Amino acid sequence: MNWFKFSSPQTFYPLAGRLIPVFWVLAVVLAVAGLYIGFFVAPTDFQQGDAYRIIFIHVPAAWMSMFIYLVMAGWAALGLVLNTRLSSMMASALAPTGALMTFIALWTGSFWGRPTWGTWWVWDARLTSELILLFLYIGFMALHASIDEPRRADKAAAILAIVGVVNVPIIYFSVKWWNTLHQGASVSLTRAPSMATTMLLGMLVMAIAFWMYSIAAALSRVRSIILERERNSAWIGQLQESR
């Protein structure tokens, strides 16, 4: 199979169109399952009561916020180096979803902080670096929006995204490097998880649901970006005629 074939917007557009419904369905099904496990199956925590159930949204969102940034920066770098149109479009399609995830992580986190820490917000390293991540996403979108020529905008935003990658390890390791209020990683590949299995299961199912949602959202956004950017090209004209 020739993967490069799909690096042209023209071939990617219909492919994405076929994939989107699949991801949407998966996202909804998994989210329902995950929420069911989270809210009905998982036991009440003996310390935190039911407040801990925010974890089922908070942690997947926090993971996604960092992961999407890496993917976005990767696409952006690819677009910068190889000058492929589609990669840059993918990067700009991912940014709003990433910002949304970051926002959800922040929002649910501070919602959770109220009962557990007694405050909405503290300035510890993880919270702060997550906030920086939000600013980086916003900066990426703002920079992109304030340059008219799409190709220039792509390149400039790509440079910013690459520079900002430095922030991601800081978020991830912040709990290790500084002793903070926020708790450290409890899910790890190298040792046994320190939480109940049902909880872990619920969290993982939710995480996959968030993945599916992010892919679906990014694909639909990239389709509209393609339509907008390639509006003058011949194949879009044919597309409209064939409708």
Partner 1 sequence: MNPLLAVFRRDLLQAWRRRADWLTTFFFFVIVVSLFPLGVGPEPAMLRTIAPGILWVAALLAAMLSLPRVFESDFADGALEQLLLSPEPLPLLVLSKTTAHWLLSGVPLALMAPVLGLQFGLDVEAVRVLFWSLLLGTPCLSLIGVVGAALTLGVRGGGVLIALLVLPLYIPVLIFGAGAVETVATGTGAAGHLSLLGACLCIALPLAPWGASAALRVALE
Retrieve residue 45's tokens: 């925590």
Report CA 45 to chain centroid distance, whole Å.
28
Q: Would you say 114 or 152 has its CB closer to ligand HEM? A: 114
CA geometry: angle 92, 95, 98, nearest 5 deg: 155
* CA distance linking residue 138 with residue 132, whole number of Å: 10
Q: Which residue type occupies 27?
A: A
Nearest approach in angstroms of CB 139 to partner 1 is 5
Nearest approach in angstroms of CB 53 to ligand HEM is 11
* Stretch of residues binding partner 1 (CB under 8 A), selected from 30-38, 91-99, 124-132, 183-191: 124-132
**Alpha-carbon torsion (109, 112, 114, 116), positive or negative:** negative
DSSP line for 24-52: HHHHHHHHHHHHHIIIIISPPBTTTBGGG
DSSP code, position 7: G
Site for partner 1 in 68-97 (CB under 8 A): 80
Q: Residue 152 interacts with partner 1 (CB under 8 A)?
A: yes
Q: Residue 110 interacts with ligand HEM (CB under 6 A)?
A: yes
Q: Which of 185, 224, 231, 238 binds ligand HEM (CB under 6 A)?
A: 185
Site for partner 1 in 158-197 (CB under 8 A): 159-160, 162-164, 166-167, 170
| Residues in touch with ligand HEM (CB under 6 A) | 55, 58-59, 62-63, 105-106, 109-110, 112-113, 116-117, 126-127, 130, 171-172, 182-183, 185-187
